[in-house]
Each structure stands twice: as structure tokens, then as C-alpha cells.
Amino acid sequence: MIDIEGHYEVKLGPLPTLTGKPTHYCAGCEHGTLTRLIAVALHEMGVRERTVLVDSVGCSVLAHEYLNVDAIQSPHGRAPAVMTGIKRMHPELLVFAVQGDGDAVSIGLSELIYAANRGEPITVFLVNNGIYGMTGGQMAPTTPEGMVTMTTPHGRDIAITGAPIDASKLLATFEAPAYVKRVFLPVTPTPAPDFYNARGSIEGARSVKNAFRVQEMGGFSFVEFVSTCNVNWKMSILKSKQYAAEVLAKVFPPGLFKDKFGVEKR
């Protein structure tokens, strides 16, 4: 038996920015994928020691359990306001929040808009799965038309509840935000059977890093990740990825809405 152990190099390995705790997320949830992307970006930029994570309310609330960074818990939807305070007192810190669509687009939309309009050098990651995940699948402002949720059992009727709110497009209308982007994070079905491409994760990794770089350059950065919630959509994991590609990607088409500093080209 030849010893082959020493002949391997680690291409991708464990990260010091992750605590190593098992996640509480449901199987196949994009929250975990995003946590990994953030961990990789923080590790590659070497900024773990001066990073502060602001917890929002929702499934993202336990992100501090997995990311090995300092964290503070904000009231529901008020993460951008808390981040503003931290950043103004300690401009040398890297401050970011992971928010859900119920947190950022519903209850905390005002805080998000005003922080963006002031151009605060903070980073907001929005995980948009079109539903309230943690509370049991109620309709969110981002629920696409016709989607069946707990509170819209006959499908969302936009004549009664209004059309889905497009947070990225909304923030891109302001002058101050420096980086506004939307990424389709789940694996995408391909014509080949049983094969899904993972372009979303790779694109997401680049976007997370760019968002942090924009913050270091002094601009407001916002990345929206179109995601799935197979448990509350009442679908299998792969069916939910397909639904996201067919329905959610049409309502929220991925794209770069604003790039003031041109980080995407570099």
C-alpha cells in the first residue's frame, strides 16, 4: 500500500470563517449556500477580524452561529439602521447583514430605502424566496402573482394585494447606492436530464466579494439573491428549483442594476 495522503493539495477546504456548527436550515435551502459564499469572501479578503454581522429576523437570524464573526441582533427589519450606527462609530469595520424578503422588503423597507438613499457604506444581502419562511409560509410582498401560500390559498391576486415589490429596481432608482445586483442563486435545470448547472453559486461568490469591495470603497452595496423555500412552497427540493427558474426568475430577472465604481469589470 503506497501512502498517497501527503500527495494531495487542498483546492477547497474548511474555512476559519465558519464555526463548523451544523446548520438549522432545511435541506436544500439557499441560506446555507449564501453563508458559504460569505465565508469564502471574508476568508479570501482576510477581513474576518474586523467584520460585524448584523442579524435580521427570519431564517437568517442564526447566521452568527455559523459565521465566525462578531454579531449583533437588530430588531425586525432594522438591520440597515443598526449597521448605520456601527459604521458611523467605527468606519474601519466591515458591516453586513443577511436579510430575508419579509424582513427587508416588508417590515424594514423604510430602513433599507433610507440607508440606501443616504449612501451609507454598508452591505445588505437580501435572500428573496417570495414567502415568509420561518413563520410558516404566509404571503410576502415579493410573492409572485398566482403563488399559493397560507394566506392566499387561491393564489396571489394582484388586484387585492398589489404586485410584487422589486427591491433591486427600487434601490437602483436612487442616486446614492453604489452597487445593486440581483443573482439567481439556486441550481438551474438544464435540458440534460438530472443535471442542474450551478452558475448561480459561482456568480453569487463573485457578487458577495464585489459587494464587500464596494463597501471598502465607501459605497452602499446591495445584492439580492433569488432563492427557494421548498418546505413552504410545498414542493420537493428539485421541483422548487425548477419553479424558481420558471416563475421567480421571470418576476425577478437577475442582472446588474448599478455599479458606480465599476467593480464588476475588474
Partner 1 sequence: MASTVATEVPKSRVVVDAERCKGCDLCVVACPQQNLHLSGALNRSGYHPAVFEYHGKKGACTACGICYWVCPDFAITEVLRWKA
Taking CB under 8 A as the binding criterion, the range among 19-27, 89-97, 110-118, 216-224 that sits at the site for partner 1 is 19-27
Is 42 a binding residue for partner 1 by CB under 8 A? The answer is: no
Taking CB under 8 A as the binding criterion, the range among 21-29, 100-108, 173-181, 257-265 that sits at the site for partner 1 is 21-29
Q: Which of 17, 25, 54, 111 binds partner 1 (CB under 8 A)?
A: 25
120 CB contacts (<8 Å, ≥6 apart)? 80, 83, 84, 87, 88, 220
CA distances from 21 to 10, 32, 62, 90 (A): 21, 12, 11, 29
Choose between 217 and 238: whose C-beta lies nearer to partner 1. Answer: 238
Is 3 a binding residue for partner 1 by CB under 8 A? The answer is: no
Q: Can you read off the three cell numbers belonging to residue 172?
A: 437602483
To partner 1, the closest distance from the beta carbon of 145 in angstroms equals 28
To partner 1, the closest distance from the beta carbon of 196 in angstroms equals 4
Q: Which of 12, 89, 159, 160 binds partner 1 (CB under 8 A)?
A: 12
Supply the angle between the helices 30-45 and 199-216 in degrees, to the nearest 10. 50
Q: Which residues pair with 191 in a beta bridge?
A: none
Element (DSSP H or E) covering residue 222: strand 221-226
Is 153 a binding residue for partner 1 by CB under 8 A? The answer is: no
Distance CA(217)–CA(212), nearest Å, equals 9
Choose between 87 and 241: whose C-beta lies nearer to partner 1. Answer: 241
Given a contact cutoff of 8 angstroms between Cβ atoms, the answer to whether 54 and 108 are in contact is no
Is 17 a binding residue for partner 1 by CB under 8 A? The answer is: no
C-alpha closest to that of 53 among 25, 28, 18: 18
Distance CA(46)–CA(68), nearest Å, equals 13
Is 261 a binding residue for partner 1 by CB under 8 A? The answer is: no
Q: Which of 10, 89, 159, 160 binds partner 1 (CB under 8 A)?
A: 10
Q: Which of 61, 115, 177, 205 binds partner 1 (CB under 8 A)?
A: 205
To partner 1, the closest distance from the beta carbon of 64 in angstroms equals 15
Greatest Cα pair distance in the chain: 71
Taking CB under 8 A as the binding criterion, the range among 17-25, 79-87, 88-96, 143-151 that sits at the site for partner 1 is 17-25
* Exposure string for 31-63, b = 16+ CB within 10 A, e = fewer: bbbbbbbbbbbbeebebbeebbbbbbbbbbbbb
Per-residue binding string, partner 1, 215-244, x by CB under 8 A, is: ----------------------xx------
Q: Which residues pair with 52 in a beta bridge?
A: 70, 95
Choose between 5 and 92: whose C-beta lies nearer to partner 1. Answer: 5
Is 30 a binding residue for partner 1 by CB under 8 A? The answer is: yes
Which residues contact partner 1 by CB under 8 A?
2, 4, 7-14, 18, 20, 22-23, 25-33, 35-37, 66, 187, 194-198, 201-202, 205, 237-238
